[in-house]
Amino acid sequence: MAVKYHGAGVQLKAVMVKDLTKSFGTFQAVKGVTFSVEEGEVFGLIGPNGAGKTTTMRMLSTLLQVTSGTATIFGKDLVTETDEIRKIISYLPEEAGAYKNLTGRRYLEFIARFFGNGEDVEKMVDYGISLSNLADRIDDKVETYSKGMTRRLLVSRALMFKPRLAILDELTSGLDVISAQHVRRTVRDTTKDGTTIIVSSHNMLEVELICDRLALIADGRVVEMGSPAELKDKYDADNIEEVFVKAVSP
Amino acid sequence: MRPLSNIFSKEVRELLTPATVLPIVVLAILFGSLGGIMGDVGGEASKPPIIGIIQQDDSELANYTAMILDSESDVVYKSTDIANIDEGLKAVSSAGGTALLVIPQGFGDDIQSNRSGTIRVYWIMKGTGMLDTISSASLDGLLGVTDKMLSMYILENEDMRASVNVTTALNPTIKNETTTFKGQTLEGISPSSISATLSSQNMVVPLIVLMVIIMSGSTVIASMGLEKENKTLETLLTMPVKRSHIVIGKLGGAAVVGLLMAFIYMLGMSSYLNSLQGSAGLNLSDYGIGLETLDFVLVGLSLFLAVVAGLGLCLVIGVFARDYKSAQSLTMPITFLAMIPMFVLMMKDFATLPGAVQAGLFAIPFTHPMMAMNNLMFGDYTLVVAGIVYEAIFASAMMAVAVILFKKDILVTGRKKKREGKEVRTWPRRR
C-alpha cells in the first residue's frame, strides 16, 4: 500500500476523520467517529441499519453539514474547502438513480462534463462505458435498464473520471451474484490507478473480499478497526460477520 | 362492518390531507373575495350615478332635460357657466362621480330647428377593468332614458310636435363624449369603448403571464420532484459545481421551457380571443395612446423578473417535494398566486381597488407584468417602475433563499415534522 508524504516528512492520509458528529435536532446519528484512510486503500464501513454509515459518508461527500469534529480529504478541510473536495471525490449513494430519459452514454457525458472538456470528456465516457460492461445497451435509455444494469452504469459513473476518493454506499445493493462480482472487480481494479475507496456494505463476505481495512460502526460510533485478517485474529472468528457480532455484543 | 369502516377511515385519512384541502380552501377564499368585489359593483350599479351639470341653455327642453337628469342621479355640482368645466370636473371627481354633463347654449333651439341637441359628456374614467365601467354604463343608460323621455315630451306637446320633425322628435339628443383618464383627455370616446378596446389586452396579457408562471413553475417544481424520485439529486449535489449555478441552471432551463410552452399555448389562445373580439375595438394610437420602445422594454423586463421571481419561489417550494406526485400538488400555491391578480385585474383596475387589496396584489410579483401594459399606455410609469424594483428584490431574495436551501441538509434529509415532542423525518426515511 502506497503512503504519500507531504512537505517535510508529514504523512498525507487520503482521509482523516476525527470526532465527527452529526445531529438532526435532538437525535445524534453519528457520535464522534474517528478513522483514517490511506491513499489507494479500500476502506470499509460496516454496521447494521441506522449505525451511522450513510450519514458519515454523506458528510464526507459534502452532502450533509458536519455538526462537530474535523475531517480532511487529501489535506482539504471538509467544512471550509467543500468546492475543492467535490473536484476530487465521487459519491455513489445506495439508492442512486440516473436520469431516465437519457441514454447511458448521454448520462455519462452529462457527468463527465463536470470534470473536463472536449477530449477529456470523450476519454472519461469511453472508460466509463468499458467499466459498465453495458456494450450496445449504453445507447438505450436508462428507463429500459434493469436494476443491475443501472447500478453498473452508476458505478462506472462514479469511477470513470478516476477520482482521488470514491465513496460508495452499499456498493452491490440489489445486484445479482454475477453483476456484484463484476462491480467488485471494477472497484478493486480502480485502486490500481491510485483511487482511494471508502465502501459501506451489509454484505460481510463482500467486505472481506475487497477491503484492505475496515471499521465496524454501531450506534454512531466506531467499535473496532483493522484489516479483515487482524480482526478475525483478534476475535478468534472465522469471518467478519462473527467479528461484528462479538465486537458489538455487551 | 368493521373491515368496511377500516377501509373507509383509511381512505378518508389518505385523501384528507393538507395538500388536498388547502387548494379548496384557497379557491373558496378566492371566489369569496371575487364575490365581494362583484357585490360591491352590483351595489354601485343600483345607485344613481354621481354627476355634475353645467346648464348653459335656459330653454324649456334644456330645463326638462336637466330636471330628468337631476331626478335620476346624484348631482354634486351645478353651474350655468361653461368656464367652470375644470371646477366641475374636480368636484365630480372628488365625489367619486362618473361624469360632468354640459347642456350647451342653443340646446333647445337646435332641437326645435330639427337638429339633435348636443349633450356634452365629460367622462371621468376610473379604471380599465370590466367592472370599472359599470357606473359609466349606468349613466349611459340614464342618458338613453332622458332621450326617450324628451322624445315623449316633444310628441305630447302640440306646439313642439308641429315644429319638430319626426326624426328629431324620436332622437332629440346626441352625445359629444370626452374621457379623462389618468390625466389624459381623449376626445370623442367613452370609457366603455376604451374598456372594450382594452378588454382583449386585459384578458390576453394576464393569461400569458399566468401560463408562463404555471408552465415554467410546474417544470421547476417537477424537476426537483423528479430529482428526488429518481434519486439523482444527491449525485448532482456532489458534483464540482457551485450551488448558485445549480439554482441558476435549473431556473434558466425551466424559464426557457416554460416560455416556449406558454408561447405555443398563447398562439392558439390569442387567435381564439381575437376571433371573439373581432373589430369591436378602437385604434387607440389615433388618440395618442400606445406603447413606445421603452415601454415594451419595461413590459418585457417586468415579465422576465416575474418569471424569475416565480421560478425562485417554485425552487424554494420544490425543495420540499418528496417525489413527482407531491411536486405536482406543490404547484397549487403558485397557480393560485398567479390566478388571484389575473381575476382581480380583469374585473377591476388596480387604481380602483381598496388599499388593502392593492397592497396584497402589489406583494404578488405576478401582478406587475399583468398590469404593466395598461399603465404604460396611459403614462403611469411610477407603478410600473416600482413593480419592477419590487420584482427584482423578490426574485433576488428567492434565489438567495434557494441557494441557501441548496447548501442545507434539508435538501437531502427532507423537512421534519414535530409530533408530540418527537422529530419525524418525512424524507428520506433512512439515515
What is chain B's pLDDT, residue by residue, as a tens digit (431 residues)?
677 888 888 888 877 877 677 777 877 777 776 676 666 666 666 778 899 999 999 888 899 999 999 888 889 999 888 888 889 988 998 888 889 999 999 898 889 888 889 999 999 888 877 777 777 888 888 999 999 999 998 888 888 878 888 888 888 999 898 988 877 888 888 887 887 777 777 777 788 888 888 888 888 888 888 888 888 989 999 999 888 898 888 888 888 877 777 777 667 766 765 665 555 556 677 777 777 788 888 888 888 888 889 889 988 888 887 777 777 777 788 888 888 888 888 888 888 888 888 999 999 999 998 888 888 888 889 999 999 999 999 999 999 999 999 888 888 887 655 444 444 444 343 43
Closest-CA residue in chain A for B226?
A99
A-B CB pairs within 8 A amount to 70
Domain ranges of chain B: 47-189, 198-277+289-425
Nearest to A83 among B232, B240, B423 (CB): B240
Domain membership of residue A114 (yes or no) is: no
Give the pLDDT score at B273. Answer: 58
Q: How far apart are CA B210 and CA B262, in angstroms?
A: 9
Question: In the structure grid, which three cell numbers stand for residue A123, read together?
Answer: 476519454
Interface touch B234/A111, C-beta < 8 Å: no
Residue A45 lies in a domain: yes
Q: Which of chain B's residues have a Cβ under 8 Å away from the Cβ of A29? A: 431
Q: Domain tally for chain A?
A: 1
Name the average pLDDT for chain A: 89
The grid cell for B119 is 349633450
pLDDT computed for residue A67 by the predictor: 94
User: Does residue A59 belong to any structural domain of this protein?
Assistant: yes
Instruction: Flag if B430 and A49 touch (Cβ within 8 Å).
Output: yes
Is residue A144 one of the residues assigned to a domain? no
> In three state form, how does the secondary structure of chain A look?
CCCEEECCCEEECCEEEEEEEEEECCEEEEEEEEEEECCCCEEEEECCCCCCHHHHHHHHCCCCCCCEEEEEECCEECCCCHHHHHHHEEEECCCCCCCCCCEHHHHHHHHHCCCCCHHHHHHHHHHHHHHHCCHHHHHCEHHHCCHHHHHHHHHHHHHCCCCCEEEEECCCCCCCHHHHHHHHHHHHHHHHHCCEEEEEECCHHHHHHHCCEEEEEECCEEEEEECHHHHHHHCCCCCHHHHHHHHHCC
**Burial bucket for residue B313 (CB in 10 Å: 0-12, 13-18, 19+):** buried
- Taking CB atoms and an 8 Å limit, are A63 and B430 in contact across chains? no
B229 CA to chain A: closest CA distance, Å?
9
Contact call for residues B206 and B306 (beta carbons, < 8 A):
no
- The domain of A176 spans 4-97+163-248
Residues 6+ apart with CB under 8 A from B411: B233, B237, B319, B405
Q: Which residues of A touch B232 (CB under 8 A)?
A: 96-99
Record the cell numbers describing residue A177, joined without a space.
451474484
B242 contacts in A (CB within 8 Å)?
83
Which CATH superfamily hosts domain B47-189?
A: abc type-2 transporter like domain (3.40.1710.10)
Distance from CA of A33 to the nearest CA of B (A): 16
pLDDT greater at residue A164 or residue B291: A164
- List the single residue in A with minimal CA-CA distance to B417: A25
pLDDT at B414: 72
In chain B, which residues have their Cβ closer than 8 Å to the Cβ of A157?
235
Give the other-Cβ count within 10 Å of A67's Cβ.
Answer: 15
Please check whether residue A150 lies inside any domain of the structure: no
Q: Tell me the C-alpha distance between B175 and B101, whole Å.
A: 10
**Is residue A157 in a domain?**
no
Q: Using omega within 30 degrees of 0 as the cis cutoff, is the peptide bond preceding B104 cis?
A: no
Nearest chain B residue to A57 by CA: give it: B431
pLDDT of residue A15: 95
CATH code, domain carrying A174: 3.40.50.300
What is residue B423's predicted lDDT score, i.e. its pLDDT?
42
Q: Which residue of A has its CA nearest to B238?
A: A86
Q: Do the beta carbons of residue B334 and residue B310 sit within 8 Å? A: yes
Looking at the DSSP bridge assignments, the partners of residue B178 are B122, B187
Which chain B residues are Cβ-neighbours of A57 within 8 angstroms?
A: none
- Residues counted in chain B: 431
Within-domain flag for A214:
yes
Contact list, B238 vs chain A (CB under 8 Å): 61-63, 86, 89-91
ipTM value:
0.88
On chain B, the residues whose CB falls within 8 A of the CB of A100 are 230
Query: Of the candidates A63, A98, A115, which has its C-beta nearest B412's C-beta?
Result: A63
The neighbour count for residue A205, using CB atoms within 10 Å, is: 12
Name every chain A residue with its beta carbon within 8 A of the beta carbon of B235: 91-93, 96, 111, 154, 157
Is residue A205 assigned to a domain?
A: yes
* Residue in B closest to A66 by C-alpha: B409
3-state SS of chain B is: CHHHHHHHHHHHHHHCCHHHHHHHHHHHHHHHHHHHHHHHHHHHHHCCCEEEEEECCCCHHHHHHHHHHHHHCEEEEEECCHHHHHHHHHHHHHCCCCEEEEECCCHHHHHHCCCCEEEEEEEECCCCCHHHHHHHHHHHHHHHHHHHHHHHHHHHCHHHHHHCCHHHHHCCEEEEEEEEECCEEEECCCHHHHHHHHHHHHHHHHHHHHHHHHHHHHHHHHHHHHHHHCCCHHHHHCCCCCHHHHHHHHHHHHHHHHHHHHHHHHHHHHHHHHHHHCCCCCCHHHHCCCCCHHHHHHHHHHHHHHHHHHHHHHHHHHCCCCCHHHHHHHHHHHHHHHHHHHHHHHHCCHHHCCHHHHHHHHHCCCHHHHHHHHHHHCCCHHHHHHHHHHHHHHHHHHHHHHHHHHHCCHHHHCCEEEECCEEEECCCCCC
Environment class of B231 (CB within 10 Å of its CB; exposed 0-12, middle 13-18, buried 19+): middle
Residues of chain B with a CB closer than 8 angstroms to some CB in chain A:
230-232, 234-235, 237-242, 408-409, 412-413, 416, 423, 425, 428, 430-431
What confidence score (pLDDT) does residue B297 get?
86
pLDDT at A250: 67
Of the partner residues A55, A96, A114, the one whose CB lies closest to the CB of residue B234: A96
Average pLDDT over residues A132-146: 92
Contact B238/A91, CB-based, under 8 Å?
Answer: yes
Q: Residue A68: exposed, middle, or buried by beta-carbon count in 10 A (0-12, 13-18, 19+)?
A: exposed
